[in-house]
Amino acid sequence: MIEVANLTKRFGHFTAVDSISFRVEKGEIFGLLGPNGAGKTTTIRCLLTLTRPTSGEVNISGIDALKNPQQVRQICGYVPQEVSVDGDLTGYENLLLYARLYQVPKASRTKRIRDALEFMGLTERASHLVKTYSGGMMRRLEIAQVLVNQPQVLFLDEPSIGLDPAAKRMIWDYIIRLRDDFNATILLTTHDMLEADELCDRIAIMNLGKIAVIGSPRELKAQLGGDVISISTTASNCFGVLQRMGYQLLSSSRDGVCELIVKNGEEEIPRILEGLRQHGVATKSVSLKRPTLDDVFLKYAGVRIEEGEVSWKSARLTRRTIRRLRR
Amino acid sequence: MISALRMVNGILTITEFELRKVVHDSSQVFVRAIQPLLWLVVFGGVFGKLRVLATGSYSYLQFLTPGVLAQSVIFIAVFYGITLVWERDFGLLNKLLSTPVPHSSIILGKTFAAGVRSILQAILIFLLALAIGVQLRVDPLSVLGVLTVIVLSGMCFSSLSIFLASMLKTRERMMGIGQAITMPLFFASSAIYPVELMPSWLKVVALANPLSYTVDALRALLVTGDFSRFPRDLAVLILATVVLTVLATVSFKRIID
């Protein structure tokens, strides 16, 4: 459904997207996972013909996006990261506006709008001005806006950013239903590991404009080859000792924590601790977890996604936007 | 042919929804009438008593009303670009651009809406002027002419504003430039005093200022009924509007990058 080959986008000397290639199949939920500034949004903007790629090819549903941008836009729907509903119009009007811009035939307009409102659970508030909506409702309305066009491909840029956990869950449920009920192909970007894990059939891990690896969350986690054990210690030689013992280490010690990947972690812990004791390394605590996408990201991108800091910052930005809109 | 239809559909749709917003919040139309009202009642009232300006056989208030009308339109229009910056800061503009309508029709729709919006403004001030006893020509043709000139001027200056917004890109800078240019535009026109009284350098500025032509055309329509310069005024306005809308349409994509 979506084919991207060697897509590159430069802004001056800065390369935002660096020769990436991927395919998304029909009816798939595909995620671009990476920290802010990884080039996810720029990728989406290139696919949507909002910005012209420096080089590369983009094909959507068999249409060459560089040659026929309007045709591509006609079959796509885009929900940007920032709030994109108009607070000074009612919910219904926000949908009517897009039904008209997408040239939905007059005969089916009302029905499509009603269906989209119904689907996103907004029927009751349809005649209210959008500035009175909650953040979660605005996000749902944004999705409803593109639904009136019955798009074949949906682009969702950070669909749950800035939402509280309950609203987040709700949006995830809707995204899955969008795929199941409309057979839409969905490309989303996220820096939220959990979101990528729960929603996406496949993900591409993106960092510094490049795609590091593509696969299903399960595959990617399995490729790590075991459980993640974190050992907290005050000894500075812990890392070296573990290496000499032949373990595969995930990261160097940050704040005196060594992380390693082992098969059958539960059984391995006593052996590791015994080995460390023999080398005179005192340990403070040990923990074991199943690998997460964060660990996968660390393996391929070399850094943690720094979830906390980044998401907090952008969440604050989105919240501020919503607040401004609701004034 | 199909793309022309898409274009018209885009322009009309954007215009309609811009106007729907005004309907939802009509208070802004009244708030924006306060300043012109003060110009008419306070400034016009006091200056009219002085009788220092040679306004021919017409009263100073008659002379001033078209000026205030023009002023009220352009003072709003020069800040119009801020709305666009605002919509860029939200995702609104990006989402609009992701629809299949031609991108130029979005800008044309917005400027056209700004023009139509100014009509509401103009009607209000027109009624205010009549209420305080200013004698104006009110035959249907004049009114039609006034509306045309006002829509053109609204489009002209909102295009200028969008063009500036695409260069300046932030709300703060737009506020600054808006403040900086409104008064010079106003004073370097024939809005509150006849051009003949200006020093020669200012006359040159006034000649290059589209607002002078708006005021001149409105004055012919509302007060003097002397249409000898009207074709010239209208031609200049149309030309300025076309040039500025083209500039705005071409440059506005920069606002997004």
In a domain, A67, yes or no: yes
Q: CA of B251, closest CA in chain A: separation in Å? A: 14
Residues A211 and A229 in one domain: no
Q: Are residues A213 and A243 in the same domain?
A: no
pLDDT in tens, B81-130: 888 888 888 888 889 999 999 888 999 999 999 888 888 888 888 888 98
A196, A221, A246: which is the final residue of a domain?
A221
Quick one: A319 exposed, middle or buried, by C-beta within 10 A (0-12, 13-18, 19+)?
middle
Q: Which residues of A touch B13 (CB under 8 A)?
A: 97, 100-101
At residue A134, the 3 state secondary structure works out as coil
**Which residues of chain A lie closer than 8 angstroms to B21, CB-CB?**
86, 88-89
Residue A159: count other Cβ atoms within 10 Å of its Cβ: 25
Q: How many helices (H) and strands (E) does chain A have?
A: 12, 14
Same domain for A151 and A198, yes or no, is: yes
Residue A139 in 3-state DSSP? helix
Q: Are B18 and A123 in contact (CB under 8 A)?
A: no
Chain A: nearest CA to B16, how far in angstroms? 9
What CA dihedral angle connects B236, B239, B245 and B246, to 10 degrees? -150
Residue A320, domain member (yes or no): no
Same-domain status, A207 and A243: no
- A232 and A208 belong to one structural domain: no
Q: How far apart are CA A188 and CA A58, in angstroms?
A: 17
Task: Give yes or no: residues A27 and A134 share one domain.
Answer: yes
Q: Do A132 and A276 have their domain in common? A: no
Question: Quick check: is A300 in a domain?
Answer: no
Give φ, ψ of A16 to 5 degrees.
Answer: -80, -40
Spell out which residues of chain B touch residue A11, defining contact as CB-CB under 8 Å: 257
Chain B residues in contact with A103 by the CB 8 A cut-off are 6, 9, 100
pLDDT of A120 above 80: yes
Same domain, A43 and A7: yes
Please report whether residue A31 resides in a domain: yes
In a domain, A229, yes or no: yes
Which domain-ending residue is among A200, A221, A242? A221
Does residue A47 sit at the B interface (CB-CB below 8 Å)?
Answer: no
Tens digit of each residue's pLDDT (9 = 90 or more) over A226-241: 888 888 888 778 888 8
DSSP conformation letters of A199-229: H-SEEEEEETTEEEEEE-HHHHHHHT-SEEE
- ipTM for the complex? 0.86
pLDDT at residue A124 tops 90: yes
Give A87→chain B minimum CA distance, Å: 9
The set of residues, in sequence order, having a beta carbon less than 8 Å from that of B151 and lying 6+ positions away, is B112, B115, B116, B118, B119
Residue B174 has pLDDT above 60, yes or no: yes
> Domain range for residue A130?
2-221
Count of structural domains, chain A: 2
Determine, for residues A325 and B90 on separate chains, whether the beta-carbon distance falls below 8 Å. Answer: yes
Sheet holding A29-33, edge to edge: A76-79, A153-157, A185-190, A29-33, A202-207, A210-215
Is A63 an interface residue toward B (CB < 8 Å)? no
Residue A309 has pLDDT above 50, yes or no: no
| Cβ contact, residue pair B91, A48, below 8 Å | no
Q: Is A310 part of any domain? A: no
Percent of all residues in chain A with a pLDDT value above 90, rounded to a whole number: 45
pLDDT for B23 beyond 80: yes
Q: What is the mean pLDDT of residues B55-60?
A: 80
What CATH number does the domain containing A259 carry? 3.30.70.270
Is it the case that residue A244 has pLDDT exceeding 90? Answer: no
Q: Are residues A247 and A209 in the same domain?
A: no
Residue A297 belongs to some domain of the structure: no
Element (H, E) at A245: none
Q: Give tens-digit pLDDT for B145-168.
A: 999 999 999 999 999 999 998 888
pTM of the model: 0.83
What is the rounded CA–CA span in Å between residue B109 and residue B121?
A: 19
**Do residues A213 and A267 both lie within one domain?**
no
pLDDT at A308 over 80: no
**Interface mutation target, options A47, A60, A84, chain B, most CBs of B under 10 Å:** A84
**Whole-number pLDDT of residue A324:** 63
- Pair A211, A285 in one domain: no
Query: Which residues 165-184 on chain A approach chain B with CB closer than 8 angstroms?
Result: none
- In this structure, the answer to whether residues A200 and A246 fall within a common structural domain is no
B97: chain A residues, CB-CB within 8 Å: 50
Site of tokens 């560089």: A66
Per-residue pLDDT tens over the stretch B32-53:
888 888 988 898 888 888 776 7
Residue B4's pLDDT band (cuts 50, 70, 90): confident
Cβ B90–A83 below 8 Å, yes or no? yes
Residue A319 maps to a domain: no
* CA A143 – CA A178 distance, rounded (Å): 10
Contact flag B21-A89 (C-beta cutoff 8 Å):
yes
CATH code for position A207? 3.40.50.300
Contacts of B94 in chain A (CB under 8 A): 50, 78, 80, 82, 84
What pLDDT, on the 0 to 100 scale, is given for residue A77?
93
Of A204, A221, A238, the residue that ends a domain is A221
pLDDT of residue A305: 66
Residues of B with CB under 8 A from a CB of A: 6, 9-10, 13, 17, 20-21, 24-25, 89-92, 94-102, 256-257
